[in-house]
């Protein structure tokens, strides 16, 4: 996939542009992790594992969905369709993106995307003949708004988890059919022991803020690693089993 060429969406410049729907979301086929928003936890946790990614300084910086492994790419990207019942907004909203300025939200379009056409004779038009956003574009604008809000909420959520010491290293090992084992510990998850030590007042506050429900959903989402294993079955040398281990630091 070539590097995106994002430009501000313009009703004049892009009035004849259209989008060719890619039901498999193949632009994401090489992804292993996808940034998600706090408002996506409930819908995604029953489909894919949710965790926290760290930056180069080991600082927790993003809430993510695990959609695959380096050895397999994104296991939800099928030949003809997306293989999950839930879809992260950041994947769904492509080829659009956003830029935030001072109290300004700008919609961006990746003009180099294979699904973007400068000709309305193919795909679904971005603008109607009177220059107004089409139903497709309105839906994408709405998705982007939810994406922005959710990712801002995710940062506040991570701040709470850090302050309460509720994050710990997650080690994930996979064993492939030929016996080859791969292990990675580049993600963080909820420290269940620390969670159990919180006092009643703190737990009540987390419950009232909707944070406790999100924490529980994140912990339960780790079961979805088994779904990822199942989705490698059609690959040569698929995964036979996966092992998870929380490492207290």
Mean pLDDT by 10 residues, the chain (249 residues): 84 94 94 97 98 79 95 95 96 93 87 91 91 95 94 95 96 96 94 96 97 98 97 95 90
For 21, other C-beta atoms within 10 Å of its C-beta total 9
d(CA 240, CA 18): 42
Its sign, for the CA torsion 186, 187, 190, 194, is positive
Q: Provide the domain limits for residue 162.
A: 6-247
Q: Is residue 172 part of a domain?
A: yes
In a domain? residue 178: yes
* pLDDT score for 248: 79
The verdict on residue 223 lying in a domain is yes
Whole-structure pTM value: 0.92
Report pLDDT for 194: 96
- Alpha-carbon gap, residue 67 to 77, rounded angstroms: 9
Residue 190 inside a domain? The answer is yes
Within-domain flag for 109: yes
For the chain, state the CA radius of gyration: 20
The pLDDT value given to residue 249: 66
Q: Confirm whether 1 is domain-assigned.
A: no
pLDDT at 120 (0 to 100): 78
**37 DSSP 8-state letter:** -
In a domain, 175, yes or no: yes
How many domains does the chain divide into?
Answer: 1
Residue 179 sits at φ, ψ, to 5 deg, of 95, -10
Q: What is the pLDDT of residues 51-103, one digit of tens each?
A: 999 877 667 689 999 999 999 999 999 999 999 999 999 999 999 999 988 77
Rounded CA separation 186/163 (Å): 20
Beta strands in 21-101 (DSSP E): 33-35, 50-54, 60-66, 68-69, 73-74, 96-101
Tell me if 132 is assigned to some domain.
Answer: yes
Given the DSSP bridges, would you call strands 239-247 and 167-176 parallel, antiparallel or unpaired? antiparallel
Cis peptide upstream of residue 187 (ω within 30 degrees of 0): no
């Amino acid at each position: 996939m070539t590097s995106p060429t994002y430009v501000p969406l313009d009703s004049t410049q892009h009035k004849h542009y259209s989008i060719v729907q890619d039901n498999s979301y193949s632009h994401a086929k090489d992804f292993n992790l996808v940034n998600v928003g706090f408002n996506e936890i409930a819908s995604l946790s029953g489909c894919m594992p949710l965790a926290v990614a760290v930056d180069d300084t080991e600082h927790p910086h993003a809430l993510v969905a695990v959609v695959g492994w380096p050895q397999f790419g994104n296991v939800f990207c099928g030949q003809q369709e997306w293989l999950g019942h839930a879809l992260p907004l950041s994947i769904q909203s492509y080829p659009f993106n956003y830029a935030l300025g001072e109290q300004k939200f700008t919609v961006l379009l990746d003009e180099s995307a294979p699904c973007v056409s400068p000709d309305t004779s193919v795909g679904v038009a971005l603008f109607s003949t009177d220059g107004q956003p089409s139903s497709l574009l309105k839906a994408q604008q709405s998705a982007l708004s939810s994406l922005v809000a959710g990712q801002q909420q995710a940062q506040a959520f991570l701040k709470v988890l850090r302050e309460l010491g509720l994050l710990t290293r997650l080690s994930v090992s996979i064993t492939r059919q030929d016996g080859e084992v791969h292990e990675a510990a580049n993600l963080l998850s909820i420290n269940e022991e620390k969670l159990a030590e919180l006092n009643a007042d703190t737990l009540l506050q987390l419950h009232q803020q909707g944070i406790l429900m999100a924490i529980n959903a994140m912990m339960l989402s780790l079961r979805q690693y088994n779904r990822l294993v199942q989705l490698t079955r059609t690959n040569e040398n698929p995964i036979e089993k996966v092992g998870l281990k929380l490492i207290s630091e």
